[in-house]
Amino acid sequence: MGKAYNKAILIVDAHTHRYPEEVSKDPHAFAARQKETHWLELVEPTGKKSLQGWVNGKRMISDMKAANVSQAVLQGWYWENPASCILQNDWHAQWISNDPEKFIGFASIHPDLGQPLDELKKRHDQGFQGIGECHPWVQGSSPRNQKWISCMKFACERGWPVTFHVTEPVGHEYPGRVPTPFRDFLWLAQELPDLKIILAHAGGLFPFYELNPKLRPLLKNFYYDLSACPLLYEHSLYRKLVDVVGVGKILWATDYPLRIFPVIQKDPDFLTFKNIIKQEAMLSDTEESAIFGQNLLSLLPC
Ligand SMILES: [Zn+2]
């Protein structure tokens, strides 16, 4: 992707999801067809109000415009069925080709993909720039799986960042919650010290482990996105994160179209969270440009 534009003024959301209308109009039918029960339980939980917002691409683009968001990373999903990963990568390929200046495509992978490296090479050629959102444990595996490692090596070689979903060991129970052990992330970082690892959802507060001098060197290539944080933590988190790990490691992200302010809003947007961070974290101009776009862009391959 061309980098002729001035990066400094770009606002980039590091973690969004987008679905075609065939999915958003009838998630139950899609889940039944693709055998995606875990995903369905998250987006349409039984006996509980859903936090998922459903929007079409046009609405997403107009919401981005309303918040002055120039670009959004389209995160894939940790589908249980490898075929769904390929299907979603096809959607992303279409959308980044339609609006290359607006969308940054990340690829979905599965430890049971037949030829994972062929799939990644194909997506690389289509202009994808990372892998995520990953959760190999939901897919019945872990980052230690051999095929998984080969995908991580691919990411390392191409300079692609990899975004992982993170579940805290304690603190938030929700239907379909599957642990993502911190130990496995540390293991991965030791195996592949050059791999750029983005832990989603403020890393489940994992960033505070950077205060442990024994761990800090191991965590040098860890970054933390803020997706869904308003649902999980107090707003005082944002300033504390910057102070603990440094401004260069924090990536603004929403998890759009998740409704991360269910009490005050019916529909998802980008603006509310953007404004809250600005108010709460008291960011300097440099911090603001780093967190709202520069950091993410600097993680993308050249
Ligand atoms: Zn997630």
Q: What is the CATH number of the domain that holds 64?
A: 3.20.20.140
Sequence-ordered alpha helix ranges (H) in the chain: 21-24, 27-34, 37-43, 57-66, 82-98, 116-125, 146-158, 182-191, 229-232, 237-245, 271-281, 285-289, 295-299
* Distance from the alpha carbon of residue 16 to the mean position of ligand 1, in angstroms: 10
What pLDDT, on a 0 to 100 scale, did the predictor assign at position 98? 98
Instruction: Please list the pLDDT of the chain residue by residue as tens digits (302 residues).
Output: 444 444 446 899 999 999 999 999 999 999 999 999 999 999 999 888 899 999 999 999 999 999 999 999 999 999 999 999 999 999 999 999 999 999 999 999 999 999 999 999 999 999 999 999 999 999 999 999 999 999 999 999 999 999 999 998 888 887 778 889 999 999 999 999 999 999 999 999 999 999 999 999 999 999 999 999 999 999 999 999 999 999 999 999 999 999 999 999 899 999 999 999 999 999 999 999 999 999 999 999 97
- Note down the domain range covering 54: 10-299
The total of structural domains in the chain comes to 1
- 227 Cα: distance to centroid of ligand 1 (angstroms): 8
Position 4 in a domain: no
Q: Do 289 and 277 form a contact (C-beta atoms < 8 A)?
A: no
pLDDT of residue 54: 95
Continuous H helices in 182-270: 182-191, 229-232, 237-245
Local structure of 258: helix, strand or coil: strand
Helices (H), 172-222: 182-191
- Please report whether residue 81 resides in a domain: yes
**Rounded-to-integer distance, Cα 107 and Cα 101, Å:** 18
230 within domain boundaries:
yes
What pLDDT score was predicted for residue 7? 46
Ligand 1 center–CA 143 separation, angstroms: 16
For 138-157, letters b (16+ CB in 10 Å) and e give bbebebebebbeebbebbbe
Pairs from 58-64 (Cβ < 8 Å, separation ≥ 24): 60/16, 60/18, 60/256, 60/257, 61/99, 61/102, 63/256, 63/268, 63/269, 63/270, 63/271, 64/13, 64/102, 64/270
What are the residue ranges of helices labelled H in 159-197?
182-191
| CA distance readout (Å), 286 to 10, 243, 292 | 13, 14, 10
Give the pLDDT score at 173: 80
Picking from 234, 219, 236, 275, the residue whose alpha carbon sits closest to that of residue 252 is 275
Instruction: Establish if 22 belongs to a structural domain.
Output: yes
Can you give the pLDDT at residue 242? Answer: 97
Q: Is residue 5 part of a domain?
A: no
State the pLDDT at residue 168. 85
> Cα of 255 to ligand 1 centre, how many Å?
8
Is 85 inside any structural domain?
yes
How much is the pLDDT for 175? 72
Is residue 143 situated within a structural domain? yes
Ligand 1 centroid from CA 58, angstroms: 23
pLDDT recorded at residue 82? 97
**DSSP character for 210?**
G
CA of 144 to the centre of ligand 1 (A): 20
The answer to whether residue 75 sits within a structural domain is yes
What are residue 87's phi and psi, to 5 degrees? -60, -45
Q: How far is CA 182 from CA 8, 15, 165, 285, in A?
A: 33, 20, 11, 33
Question: Other CB atoms closer than 10 Å to residue 283's CB: what's the count?
Answer: 20
Q: What is the pLDDT of residue 3?
A: 42
